[in-house]
């Protein structure tokens, strides 16, 4: 990140719905803010009073262990009060609509709602409806993953990790490989990495690669094998394969998938010698990534998880408006 020259960026978003609507300056502001929160994890008492008195609802309509835990720890480290609301215990099974569920939660006046949903656009829909109903009193909405659309905090923690390891993002070659079609991680990363000047190649089987990929994301290279994608790569990001796609339409078996598209040490050798290996988790060992790569010296997978907490602390801090109250 260029030092000193960047003009001061002011954060004024109440929501974080996606990376698509952020500017480069706003992305860098989140990453810089996350730097200052990272150190909290190193303290003997891992807690700051920044969001004391703020209420955050984690509204998860889809299973998620890591993202929800990460958000929850971030909230606790910031001293926010948090409530977990998951679909399995929600009223949705009783036929209540998403809007009604959310309005009921809103009536309890939370400051932020973190939402994970299986359908693209659900957080955008909710944010819009909340504003229509409650105006300025509406809770801010943070997207924790919506269908195959966006997963902005994942892309931010990925960027944070890349910056930490490589010192920059501009000019790096990043390869993202796997199920491109169904991945929200890839879409948020494509928005983010291209805005920050990386060269991105997406790779995967043709059955998991949308036809319109390069038109939808101008400047992004498309490859159909790791052999074509990996040469010169600084960063290799593997995506989770959803095992239920096996044998149906996308690929014949996990065995064949690993044979053709799995990241082995042999394939990794095609990338730059100092390339780092990333994975948003949860991993399918022996399917998209070999265990010795996942656990090897180039892997930063667990550091991604650690960084996720700092990045989410930054996002909670900025969207809550706490930085404005302090000023």
Partner 1 sequence: MTALLIRGGRVVDPSQGLDETRDVLIEDGRISQVAPAISAPAGAEVLDAVGLVVAPGFIDPHVHLREPGQEYKETVATGTKAAAAGGFTAVACMPNTRPVNDERSVTELILTQAARAGFARVYPVAAATKGSKGEEMAEIGELVDAGAVAVTDDGLPIAHPELLRRLFLYTRHFGIPVMQHAEDLKLTGDGVMHEGVWSTRLGVPGIPSSAEDVMVARDLILLEDTGGRYHLQHLSSARSLELVRQAKAKNLAVTCEASPHHLLLTDQAVADTEFSTDVKMKPPVRSEADRQALIQGLQDGTIDCIATDHAPHHVDEKDVEFQVAPFGIVGLETAVSLCLDRLVHTGLISLSRLVELMSTNPAKLLGVPGGTLAPGSVADVTLLDLDAPVTVDKTTFHSKGKNTPFHGWTLRGKAVGTILGGRRVVVG
Query: Which residues make up the interface to partner 1 (CB under 8 A)?
Result: 97-99, 117-122, 124-125, 128-129, 146-150, 182-184, 187, 210-213, 215-217
In 3-state terms the chain splits into helix, strand, coil percentages (rounded to 5) of: 45, 15, 40
Q: Which is nearer to partner 1, 33 or 201 (CB)?
A: 201
| Residues 6 or more apart whose Cβ sits within 8 Å of residue 268 | 230, 236, 275, 277, 293, 298
Could you tell me where the beta strands, DSSP code E, fall in the chain?
Answer: 55-60, 81-86, 112-117, 140-146, 173-177, 199-203, 221-223, 235-238, 276-278
**Shortest gap between Cβ of 116 and partner 1 (angstroms)?**
13
Phi and psi based region of residue 50 (left: phi greater than 0; alpha: psi -120 to 50; beta: remaining): alpha
Q: Which is nearer to partner 1, 79 or 242 (CB)?
A: 242
Q: Which is nearer to partner 1, 163 or 240 (CB)?
A: 240
Asked whether the beta carbons of 272 and 232 are under 8 A apart, the reply is: yes
**Shortest gap between Cβ of 233 and partner 1 (angstroms)?**
23
- Enzyme catalytic residues: 66-67, 94, 116, 151
**Shortest gap between Cβ of 212 and partner 1 (angstroms)?**
4
In whole angstroms, give the CA distance from residue 289 to residue 285.
6
Tokens linked to 213: 């990929």
**Shortest gap between Cβ of 217 and partner 1 (angstroms)?**
7
Q: Which is nearer to partner 1, 98 or 233 (CB)?
A: 98
Question: Measuring CA to CA, which residue among 115, 33, 24, 41 is closest to residue 323?
Answer: 33
């Amino acid at each position: 990140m260029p030092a000193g020259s960047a003009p001061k960026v002011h954060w004024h978003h109440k929501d974080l719905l996606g990376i698509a609507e952020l500017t480069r300056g706003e992305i860098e502001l989140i990453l810089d803010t996350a730097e200052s929160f990272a150190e909290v994890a190193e303290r003997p008492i891992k807690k700051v009073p920044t969001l004391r008195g703020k209420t955050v609802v984690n509204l998860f309509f889809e299973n998620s262990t890591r993202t929800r835990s990460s958000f929850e720890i971030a909230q606790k480290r910031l001293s926010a009060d948090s409530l977990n609301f998951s679909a399995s215990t929600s009223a949705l099974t009783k036929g209540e609509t998403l809007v009604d569920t959310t309005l009921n939660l809103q009536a309890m006046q939370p400051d932020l709602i973190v939402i994970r949903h299986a359908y693209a656009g659900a957080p955008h829909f909710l944010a819009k409806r909340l504003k229509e109903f409650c105006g300025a009193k509406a809770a801010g909405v943070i997207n924790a993953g919506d269908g195959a659309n966006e997963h902005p905090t994942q892309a931010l923690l990925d960027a944070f990790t890349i910056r930490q390891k490589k010192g920059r993002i501009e000019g790096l070659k990043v390869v993202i490989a796997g199920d491109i079609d169904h991945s929200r991680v890839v879409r948020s990363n494509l928005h983010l990495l291209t805005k920050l000047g990386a060269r991105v190649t997406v790779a995967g089987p043709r059955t998991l690669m949308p036809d319109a990929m390069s038109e939808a994301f101008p400047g992004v290279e498309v490859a159909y094998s790791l052999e074509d994608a990996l040469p010169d790569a600084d960063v290799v990001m593997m995506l989770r394969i959803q095992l239920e796609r096996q044998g149906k339409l996308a690929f014949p078996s996990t065995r064949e998938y690993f044979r053709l598209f799995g990241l082995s040490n042999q394939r990794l050798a095609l990338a730059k010698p100092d390339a780092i290996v990333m994975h948003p988790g949860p991993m399918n060992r022996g399917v998209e990534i070999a265990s010795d790569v996942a656990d090897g010296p180039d892997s930063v997978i667990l550091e991604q998880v650690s960084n996720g907490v700092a990045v989410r602390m930054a996002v909670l801090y900025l969207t809550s408006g706490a930085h404005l109250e302090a000023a």
